[in-house]
A = this chain, B = another copy of it.
Amino acid sequence: MFSFKVLKSEGKARLGELTTPHGKIKTPAFMPVGTQGTVKAMLHKDLLDIGTQIILGNTYHLYLRPGIEVIREAGGLHSFIGWHKPILTDSGGFQVFSLSRGRGDGKSKVVVKEEGVEFRDHLAGDLHFFTPEKVIEIQEAFGSDIIMPLDECVEYPTTYTYAKIALERTLRWLQRSIRAKKREDQALFGIVQGASFEELRRESAMRTVEMDLFGYAIGGLSVGEPKEVMYSMTQIVCDLLPWEKPRYLMGVGMPEDIIEAIARGVDMFDCVAPTRMARTGTLFTSYGKINIRNEKYKRDFSPPDPECDCYTCKNFTKAYLRHLFNVEEISAYILNTIHNLRFYHRLMENIQRAIEEGKFGEFRSSWYNVYDFQG
């Protein structure tokens, strides 16, 4: 039901194909984030139009609303949300640590125990307890194609000592997750932690690989560390992961981060950047990011990105998008999101083609010549 093949490679960059019960995914792949059972400001049909192959759902949010019973009764998450292509769900761990910590009353509401993690949700503040077994059970009710084990996410910066404790606990929780898993139509990934410590990243990678999972995720990056650290940790981990298994860099990132991670051997990505930034007026273009609110676009009757083939760029001008955004029309968020996600998917398609043709190195350097990634 599940398989992964590296079809072609150039250096460490790989062109692959991931097979799931809900279809095949060509990698490198970008997964739009559909936190609450919908990618924000997008309809599923528009996702299909722009080439989305798989979406990500957030276990934490879906567990709170609408709750597992509704999703179970609907026949699983695919059926509940009406999305019939692959779905990956995270473990909820990241949200437990980030959203609950951020409750703003100064006191952490997260208590990590060996058994699991106790937290208060960011809505009503109710008390919940996630264990590795519970998180697997929730995702089995969802029926997502790819599922993630509960892990302990540490803040950046952290100490070596605490990163080591979290790493050990994450490994023990992974062992329990593997034992708890019952459904055979779902693939479990292991998550490599270790913060920004090379030694811990190596240890986490090797010991996670020993547990022989379908795929491996790199967690705990893009949490505030410098980009060089993110890139070097990614490289250290990828070099220790088995060649024939898919690699997923969680929560990353900007286009340049994705290109750099692919150069280091990563196959899968998710990030809220294209959708969230669309809703604040930032559009990705072939030449770098622009903000559509800018006064200079008031009478600019050209498309956001002349090289883009999306509905937004083919039909609308910067002047119109600026107007829609300024008057707070919902269609501004929709059109911006369509464009940004298509930008990400087109980037992945161009990279896939480049690897196929043995021109990824060329693509990477010419991309930096054209795209202003510091703007």
Contacts and interface: CB of A to CB of B under 8 A. Distances in A.
A324 interface: yes
Interface string A29-52: 000000011111111110000000
Contact of A319 (B41, B70, B329): B70
B323 A70 contact: yes
A330 interface: yes
Interface stretch (A98-106, A230-238, A261-269, A309-317): A309-317
Contacts of A370: none
Contacts of A82: 315-317, 320
Interface of A: 36-45, 61, 65-66, 70, 73-74, 80-82, 298-299, 301, 311, 315-317, 319-320, 322-324, 326-327, 329-331, 333-335
Given A324-B37, A330-B41, A70 B311 contact: no
A320 B73 CA distance: 12
Contact of A38 (B41, B42, B80, B329): B329
Contacts of A39: 331
Nearest to A65: B327
Contacts of A333: 330
5 contacts: A40-B331, A43-B311, A66-B326, A73-B301, A82-B315
Contacts of A319: 66, 70, 74, 80
A335 B65 contact: no
